[in-house]
Structure 1
């Protein structure tokens, strides 16, 4: 290997590490926004107890963001490509994650506030106020668009890798599994978005766009089942 080739390879690794650090920092920032969004530093025990009511919504939002981050981590650990398309898609994922964090937080906080209200017959303090079906529809649409865009970035990243990278058969199966999960996630998000556009202003079926995301569990199981069957055949 010539000195020039060595320097080029070293520069590529340094650039990759810097990109990884930036992506990790961006997701960490998004999580910090989830933790503090809409709330100030508590100045009394009463304020602290009120802020603790946000934990269920924060937990669901945190888990959703970490799914996307972890899938990108798996990609760069197993299949990384050092090309412009991979870098652009990785940065696009960060871009949409920073947009996604606000409708994500608002949707889950509103969900748990409505659950609390149905049992305690009172609303949680400092929770997002959704005053009409028009506002709820807009929230569902923002969430669905952001979710579909993030899943789309990962799907294109894995598709690009499958077309360009040389990998073992087992790794190719795992990459296809993640690709199928992301494509299914896009379809679920689009179905939720369409249902949000169609729900009547009377409030009937207002739960449908959110409940459609439960289909994600089925898509994960189906992709995992296909992956296990393919791995068993390859063994």
Structure 2
């Protein structure tokens, strides 16, 4: 099913936070309802993953937990926003979209607890620098080999989620004629696919380096390449868009 496109461009620019796209998905479907429930469950699992405090020391650790919880919460919200934008942009509800969305929801539920554990561990390593070792010992991480394995899990989950999004956007691009994507929208969709592929490559490199003993300490720093690489891709595509707009203006 493909929902009817909304033709009021002014409304899209003033209300939506995606001004370069005409949003085709205006009504919330059952696919999105189910997805929002799953995201809400995952966010709840992330926040409530730790046991309730039973004494003052536990309470202090619980309050400090707001830092890793916030990091994991931000990542899940980023993934949710990508999901929200996809269904607003394309309004697709066919079998392929349902199948890929189901895989995505399974991944979201599966990574909720590991995501909390990973950021708890990263925060605990920061506390070690200040002489507090109890938190990392409570997590059962006793050497750098375990830390490298933990980073591999995170990188693999990260790559899988972006692989699903890349497939979803590729699918939308294949149905561009049916849903009426403009030339600019096709280019932006292709840009999204390229950005997702870039994320997959970087996450895969992190997972590989995290399995190599001399390099696993530095593996996570590869994630910082996401910003310059993503910015470079967007700059190239926006340059193409400007040329396209200039050409359209000259012929008009």
Q: TM-score, normalised by structure 2?
A: 0.78
Match of residue 44 from structure 2: 32
Q: Which runs of 5+ in 1 are unaligned?
A: none
Measured on the aligned residues, the alpha-carbon RMSD in Å equals: 2.6
**Following TM superposition, by how much is the alpha carbon of 1:169 offset from its aligned partner in structure 2, in angstroms?**
1.9
* 1:67 has 2:81 as partner: no
1:106-117 equivalence runs, <5 A? 106-117=117-128
Between the aligned partners of 1:66 and 1:219, the Cα distance in structure 2 is: 22
Match of residue 183 from structure 2: 169
Equivalenced residues, count: 220
Match of residue 20 from structure 1: 32
- 2:131 aligned residue (121, 129, 133): 121
Contact 1:181/1:223 (<8 A) preserved = yes
Q: 1:233 to 1:124 in 2, by over 3 A?
A: farther
Q: 1:101 to 1:9 in 2, by over 3 A?
A: closer
Contact 1:110/1:129 (<8 A) preserved = no
Q: 1:128 to 1:21 in 2, by over 3 A?
A: same
**Following TM superposition, by how much is the alpha carbon of 1:81 offset from its aligned partner in structure 2, in angstroms?**
2.1
1:35-184 equivalence runs, <5 A? 35-40=47-52, 42=53, 47-118=58-129, 120-123=130-133, 125=135, 128-166=139-177, 167-184=181-198
Structure 2 residue matching 1:87: 3-state secondary structure? helix
**Following TM superposition, by how much is the alpha carbon of 1:129 offset from its aligned partner in structure 2, in angstroms?**
3.0
Query: Relative to structure 2, which stretch is displaced further, 191-200 or 148-157?
Result: 191-200
**Following TM superposition, by how much is the alpha carbon of 1:96 offset from its aligned partner in structure 2, in angstroms?**
1.0
Between the aligned partners of 2:122 and 2:3, the Cα distance in structure 1 is: 49
The structure that is helix-richer by fraction is 1
Q: 1:176 to 1:159 in 2, by over 3 A?
A: same
Structure 2 residue matching 1:95: 3-state secondary structure? helix
Between the aligned partners of 2:159 and 2:62, the Cα distance in structure 1 is: 30
Between the aligned partners of 2:31 and 2:244, the Cα distance in structure 1 is: 34
Structure 1 residue matching 2:210: 3-state secondary structure? helix
Contact 2:170/2:193 (<8 A) preserved = yes
- 1:226 aligned residue (193, 212, 236): 236
**Following TM superposition, by how much is the alpha carbon of 1:186 offset from its aligned partner in structure 2, in angstroms?**
0.5
Q: Which runs of 5+ in 2 are unaligned?
A: 5-24, 246-252
**Structure 1 moving runs of 4+ over 3 Å:** 42-49, 124-127
Match of residue 210 from structure 1: 220
Q: 1:155 to 1:49 in 2, by over 3 A?
A: same
Structure 2 residue matching 1:130: 3-state secondary structure? coil
Contact 1:57/1:109 (<8 A) preserved = yes
Between the aligned partners of 1:72 and 1:124, the Cα distance in structure 2 is: 38
Match of residue 249 from structure 2: none
Q: TM-score, normalised by structure 1?
A: 0.83
